[in-house]
Structure formats: structure tokens, C-alpha cells
Amino acid sequence: MEKRVAIIGAGTSGLLACKYILEKGFNPIVFEAKEGVGGLWNHTIESTKLQNSKETYQFTDFPWPASVQDMYPTHTQVLAYLKSYAQHFGIIPYIKFNSKVIYIDYVGEPFEEMESWDLWGVTSKPFGSKGKWHIVVQDTKYCTIEVIIIYVGIWFTKLSLWFFNLCIGRFSGVQNIPKFPPDQGPQMFDGKVIHSMDYSEMGSASAAELIRRKRVVIVGSLKSAVDIAAECANANGVPYPCTMIQRTAHWLIPSFSFWGVNLGFLFFNRFSELLVHKPGEPFLLKLLATILSPLRWGISKFAESYLRWKLPLKKYGTIPKHSSLLDISSCQIGLLPENFYDKVEEGSIVLKKSQSFSFCKEGLIINGETQPLKADLVILATGYKGDQKLMKMFKSQIFQKYIVGSASSIVPLYRQIIHPRIPQLAIVGYAEGFSNLSTSEIRCQWLAHLLDGNFELPSIRDMEKDVILWENNMKQYAGRYFQRLCIGNVNIWYNDQLCKDMGTKHKRKKGIFAEYFQPYGPTDYAGLTRLDQQRGMKIN
């Protein structure tokens, strides 16, 4: 009996899903809208580098080539690395390029019947339903549309079994555009207004021509904003300064070493997670986190003191009003471009802070300033609506509501992978971590075990209770940014749950000192798909 799995997206998550599903003997097909693999790395601005060190952003069984010497590889090096991975493991033949999935539609049991299910997909197994999926795919090269019917139950003519894995990410697709009153929006401006996604998709030559000798204004304060600002400053210098409008300053770092101490030893080891509350933790760990929480506060102040000393934050009014812990807990800590504040000092980058602004004929009117800020080009580095992108993949309004329930809740995914009420479908790469490649890899290993029948999921009710635990934890630490679904605070604890599900050991290091004080990295989780797990276990 042939088992086929459909994967949407050939970014890092899609490649990993395909690789591990192949290892389990399934027959995957990957739908990719672009002409090549790499996902977000296929449309990244010229100057962007990897935010993680290459040691923390690598596949468990495919190290970086020796030719890549930089600690933070360029986006072209990252893309080449991903392509090499896909070629090395024979993934390319399974990818259908230039194939954009417009939507998927589940056709099977009535929704009233699905609402009464106690177990996911009736049986709690990935191939237990009698339903089927309809997929509408657009050929982006020839602009044709194809309707494909994929059965998630038995396809009687070929006895095929199907499962869906959405690996579409969240940092592309639906742009987050600020709303303006009718007479204050971009239509009032004589210049050009684009989103950072539009800029990154132009290609280096077109982007360079767009910004050349232009008065560029960038709205935003996170990674895309500072990268584009640095690129504009390199291109135009002081004669045509680039202005950044920041509504909320964030903690951005020049490197991952503070006062000579690697950031991983401060925030990303097992000991650091003893200082925070974790979803579903037992009483003793809860008590310990409460007692040790002042130590975590002290560590954050240690880091902030370094940044205040190292960077001219006070001089330019860019000291965040919130603790660095909030940015860490919401995965908003970012790496500054090289010599960023040198460019601010020389005047090729101008920093302004304003909670509101509006457009006028000459440019922008900034709150508190009497004269307009003249501009030729405005780039909105204002992020994405990842939940809307995910929601629009489903034709069913009921499934759309399942994905985006309310403004006060997260996308409800058990283990950040499975929606308890959408059968035969997984979502990988939506929730954030500090190394999304590594996080996606362990999720894809977990999913491969699930598809192979090595464990079963709990009841729908138990999964939904677990989702609430994680949501409350994110609200506690990430505050108003909880919907980013950042697991960075408790990444090791999260990986522990996946390892236990798979029946493999969750403490992966040798020796108690290394286990608690060394940062965890990708190589610690190598070999999770090997036959060292207990078979047929039930998650408790």
C-alpha cells in the first residue's frame, strides 16, 4: 500500500519534511510557487546575513562546507547551503516547482460529525479519515490552474494514502500595512510606497537602481528595517541620507557575545530555562522558577548594560522602554548590520521616533514636527500577517475560523504542529524559535514518527488543553507579542516534549555540567529518526 504525502513549500521546513518523510518510506510531492528551493532565502535583500551563527543554524546531518568561513553567512551562502542539502538527499525530484497552491479544501465527513470526534481524524492516526482534499494549484510560469483531488483515505484505484503538511512560513505573503485616514494615506504622496517584501523580491540589481540617489524613508524598527537602512546608506551615503521612523525601539545586538560571554550561556541552555515557568511543568519546577526569577532579571540587566555601553542608544533615543526579556520572549532580538551606528554617526542614516505619521504630497508628516519629511521612496518594513496567510490556504470558512479564532488567542497548534480539529494535516514552521531551521528539523522528525505510526496523539480535548497551557505561557512572557508564537524562552523544554513523544531520550548531552550549562544546538538532536525509540507508545 503506497503512502503519499503532499507538502506545500520548499523552504527549510519543506525540505526537512520531504527528507524525513522519504526516510520512512512515504512518497512525497512538494508544491513550490518559486523556481527553486529556499523559501524566504530566495527573496532576501542583498546585504542580509544569517542572524544565527552557522553552528546554530545547520542541519543535524549536513554541516556547512569548509569554504564558508564567516560566522554569519550571507544570504547567498545560506541559499547555496539549502540547495546543496536538497541535492545531497535527493529531494529535488519530488518538488513540483512554479506550483502555487491557491487553496486546499477538505471534502469528507460533515462538520457536525467532525465536531463530535473525540480523537483527531476519528482514530487519532494520520490516515484514519475517509475524507479527501481538493487542491487548486496555479502554474506560476504559464498561468494555468489545475484542480487536484487528493484522498486522505484509501484511494480505491491505487490504494494510496495522503497527508498534508503546510510549510509556508509566516514572513511573506500577506503584508502588514498600517491603516490611515482617507486623506492621510499613501495616495496623498507623489513618490513611491512599497513594502519591504516588494523590495526584497526585486533582486539586487533592481533594488539598487530603485534606491540610488533617492531620499528613502523606512518605517520599522526590526531586522528588515535596519538591513534596508544599511543598504541604502551604503548606496547613497551622506548626500542622500536614509531616514528610519521607529514607533517602538527594540533591543538589537551587534553580536552574540556580551562582555565576552556567549548569549547562549545566558539564555539558551537548560539552566536558563529553570528560571522561567514552562507549560505543564510540575510543582517543584514551578517553585524553582519562582525562586530563581530574580536571577533572570539580573542576567537581562547585565545584557542591557553591555548594549548601553557598546552602542550610543541614549544619544539617539533608541533605548527601548521595555526589558530585553520581552524581546527575547517574543523572538524579536535581532542582529544589527555591521557598523550600523557608524552610519548613524556620519549621517547616512537618520533615526526618528514617532508613534504616528501620515502622508502628504512631499513625503511624511511626523507627529510633533512642523515641517514635512521630504522623501522620494517610502519602504514599509512593518511585518506580515502570518495568521491571515495561513488562514487563506483553506477554502472552508470553518477551518479558517479554526485557524484564526479571535484577536486574543494564538493559532491553536498542538506541539506547534497539529491542529486538533483539522484532520490529516500538519503545519510546520509557523511558530518561532531562535534557530528556525533547527526547530523545524525536530518537528519534521516528530511528524515522520507520527506518520509512521510510532505513537498516537492524545484526545482532541487533551490537545486543546495543552494548547491553552502554551498560550498562557506566551502571554505571560511575550505580552502583547504573544501571537508571534515564540518558544525561544522554553525551546529545550519544548524539544523535550517532542523527544518524549518519539520515545527517545530528551537529555542529549554527556555529563550534568554540559547538560545544564552548555547551550543546546542542532547536533544535539541528530539521529532522532533512528530506531532507538519505543514503538507504538501513547502520549500522556
3-state SS record for 128-185: CCCCEEEEEEEECCCCEEEEEEEECCCECCCCEEEEEEECCCCCCCCECCCCCCCCCC
Which of 346, 363, 380 corresponds to the end of one domain?
380
Q: Which contacts (CB < 8 Å, 24+ apart) does range 149-158 have?
A: 150/4, 150/6, 152/106, 152/108, 152/127, 152/423, 152/424, 153/108, 153/127, 153/129, 158/2
- Compute the distance between CA of residue 236 and CA of residue 426 in angstroms, rounded to an integer: 46
- Opening angle at CA 511, ends 506 and 512, nearest 5: 80
Place of cell 517584501: 197
Q: Which helix (H) or strand (E) holds 521?
A: none
335, 243: one domain: yes
How far apart are alpha carbons 196 and 171 in whole angstroms? 11
Helix 491-502 to helix 436-451 angle (10° resolution) is: 20
Q: How many CA atoms within 13 Å lie on the side-chain side of 381?
A: 25
Residue 111: which domain range? 4-172+385-534
Looking at the structure, do residues 82 and 142 belong to the same domain, yes or no?
yes
Spatial distance between the Cα atoms of 97 and 101, rounded to a whole number of angstroms: 11
Pair 151, 47 in one domain: yes
> Are 9 and 88 found together in one domain?
yes
Residue 191 shares a structural domain with residue 333:
yes
Whether 340 is in a domain gets the answer yes
Verify that 92 and 137 share a domain, yes or no.
yes
Do 27 and 106 lie in one domain? The reply is yes
d(CA 274, CA 262): 18
**pLDDT of amino acid 237:** 94
- Residues 117, 223, single domain; the answer is no
Residue 369 CA to residue 502 CA, distance in Å, equals 58
> 285: part of which helix (H) or strand (E)?
helix 283-310
User: Three-class SS of residue 7?
Assistant: strand
CATH number at residue 219: 3.50.50.60
Look at the block and give the residue holding cell 514552562: 278
For residues 292 and 288, give the distance between their C-alpha atoms in angstroms, rounded to a whole number. Answer: 6
Q: What is the spatial distance between Cα 163 and Cα 450, in angstroms, rounded to a whole number?
A: 11
- Where do runs of H (alpha helix) occur along 194-249? 196-200, 204-211, 223-236
Task: Clarify whether residues 93 and 43 are in a common domain.
Answer: yes
Is residue 530 located within the same domain as residue 418?
yes
Residue 183 backbone dihedrals phi, psi, to 5 degrees: -100, 15
User: Are residues 405 and 374 located together in one domain of the fold?
Assistant: no
- Would 445 be classed as within a structural domain? yes
pLDDT tens per residue across all 540 residues of the chain:
456 789 999 999 999 999 999 999 888 999 999 999 998 888 787 778 888 888 889 999 999 999 998 888 888 899 999 999 999 999 999 999 999 888 888 888 888 888 999 999 888 888 766 777 788 888 887 766 655 555 443 322 233 347 778 888 777 778 888 899 888 999 999 999 999 989 988 888 888 899 999 999 999 999 899 999 999 999 999 999 999 999 999 999 888 777 777 777 888 899 999 999 999 999 999 999 999 999 999 999 998 999 999 999 999 999 999 999 999 999 998 889 989 999 999 999 999 999 889 999 999 999 878 899 999 999 999 988 888 889 999 999 999 999 987 888 999 999 999 999 999 899 998 888 878 889 999 999 999 999 999 999 999 999 999 999 999 999 999 999 999 899 989 999 999 999 999 999 999 999 999 999 999 999 899 888 664 444 434 444
Instruction: Identify whether 262 is part of a domain.
Output: no
Number of domains in the chain: 2
Q: Is residue 456 part of a domain?
A: yes
Nearest C-alpha neighbor of 76 from the set 54, 97, 47: 47
Do residue 210 and residue 325 come from a single domain?
yes
DSSP 365: E
pLDDT of residue 396: 92
Q: Would you say the C-alpha torsion 318, 324, 328, 330 has a positive or negative sign?
A: negative
